[in-house]
Amino acid sequence: MEVKRLLKELGLSNYEAEAYLKVVEEGVAEAGEICKKTKIPFGRVYQVLNSLAAKGLIEVQNTRPKRYTARKTRLAFKTLLQQKRENMEKQLQKTIEAASQIEEIISKKIPTAPKERTFWTTAVGVEEAIEMLRSNFEEAKKEICIILQHAYPDEECNYKDSEATIPKEAIKATERGVKIKVLLNEEFIIPKIEYMKECGMKEKIMDKVEIRAMKKAIPTYFEVIDGEKVVLKVNNPKNPAQILAMTKIWDVKLAKEIREKFEEMWSEAKPLKLS
């Protein structure tokens, strides 16, 4: 029965749905009648009816024997929905508190450096790469050094979402105290700044992120996170303007070497100052 199914979706048990529909059908009913005309055992019928009353679906006349009638649906289901909303909010709060406690406990157990010399993960395709970009900013604690490469300006790029992800997540990270340094080549400046201006992020980026520009071409995109992780981008050989994958390597020695190369290029670049 469709109505019974819908009542069960609202959280009623099978017995509760049966009893409620029988009360609606009878208009006014006693527990004995409901028991005879449904499959509810006599030992359960009062418990079921009390539950329906607590949910606000039926009203009780305290006579001997007790008599039951259905409340007006507008009031009945408003009460039921309000109760469910309150229960869900309580459960959500418990879940949030549990997640917070687990996060605190587990974070203390995660090593600050990999047990093995090197650990790496790979994101394949645009969506996974963008998610990796986002998580890189979220997990950074002190510093991110980024080189933005734009070696193929005339070809259509298929990962435009990353252009929005980087500045948005960069702003969030700086608000947590993460220092961000971005190095790009001059041909990349105008389209990137114009894009940020369109998104309304130009002023925040220029205020919170150190940006420098180089005249010579930048070899490839990479990030160095907290001096211990390196992120590299792999372009599609068939169309270099398209992203194929990104790899994050947890290797302190490699990160130190690439960080030194970044600083070398950084010292040669000029601070970006735009009106």
Read off the CATH number of the domain in which 95 is found: 1.10.10.10
User: pLDDT 10s digit of each residue in the chain, 275 long?
Assistant: 688 888 888 889 999 999 999 999 999 999 999 999 998 998 999 999 999 999 899 999 988 899 999 999 888 888 888 888 998 999 999 999 998 888 888 877 766 655 556 788 888 887 888 888 888 898 899 999 988 765 444 444 444 555 566 777 888 888 889 999 988 876 666 555 655 555 555 566 667 788 888 877 666 778 999 989 999 888 777 776 677 888 999 888 899 999 999 998 898 888 876 55
Hunting for tokens 């071409």 — which residue is that? 217
Same domain, 98 and 135: no
Last residue of a domain, one of 51, 83, 110: 110
Same domain, 124 and 227: yes
- Measured CA to CA, the distance from residue 113 to residue 75 in angstroms comes to 59
Q: CB 1: neighbour CB atoms within 10 A?
A: 9
Closest to 145 (Cα-Cα) out of 153, 155, 137: 137
Last residue of a domain, one of 69, 89, 110: 110
- The pLDDT, as a whole number, for residue 217 is 65
- What are the Cα distances from residue 30, in Å, to 47, 58, 80, 169, 211? 13, 12, 23, 63, 78
Classify 150 as helix, strand or coil. Answer: coil
- In a 13 Å sphere around the CA of 41, the CA atoms on its Cβ side amount to 2
Same domain, 171 and 237: yes
Which positions ≥6 away from 27 have C-beta within 8 Å?
69
Same domain, 99 and 30: yes
- The pLDDT, as a whole number, for residue 154 is 40
Which positions ≥6 away from 175 have C-beta within 8 Å?
208
Same domain, 199 and 134: yes
Classify 232 as helix, strand or coil. Answer: strand
Residue 163, domain extent: 119-271
Same domain, 207 and 264: yes
- Measured CA to CA, the distance from residue 259 to residue 253 in angstroms comes to 10
- Measured CA to CA, the distance from residue 193 to residue 209 in angstroms comes to 13
Same domain, 139 and 64: no
Cβ pair 148, 192 in contact under 8 A: yes
| CATH code for position 151 | 3.30.870.10
- The pLDDT, as a whole number, for residue 167 is 77
Same domain, 151 and 262: yes
Same domain, 105 and 73: yes
Give kind and range of the element (H or E) at residue 88: helix 73-109
- Measured CA to CA, the distance from residue 18 to residue 34 in angstroms comes to 9
- What are the Cα distances from residue 219, in Å, to 82, 143, 183, 261? 59, 22, 12, 12
- The pLDDT, as a whole number, for residue 246 is 87
Same domain, 177 and 78: no
Domain total in the chain = 2
- The pLDDT, as a whole number, for residue 96 is 92
Amino acid identity, position 82: Q
Last residue of a domain, one of 53, 87, 110: 110
55: tokens are 């949910």
- The pLDDT, as a whole number, for residue 151 is 47
234: tokens are 């792999």
Same domain, 24 and 76: yes
Same domain, 144 and 106: no
- The pLDDT, as a whole number, for residue 57 is 92
Beta bridge partners of 119: 250
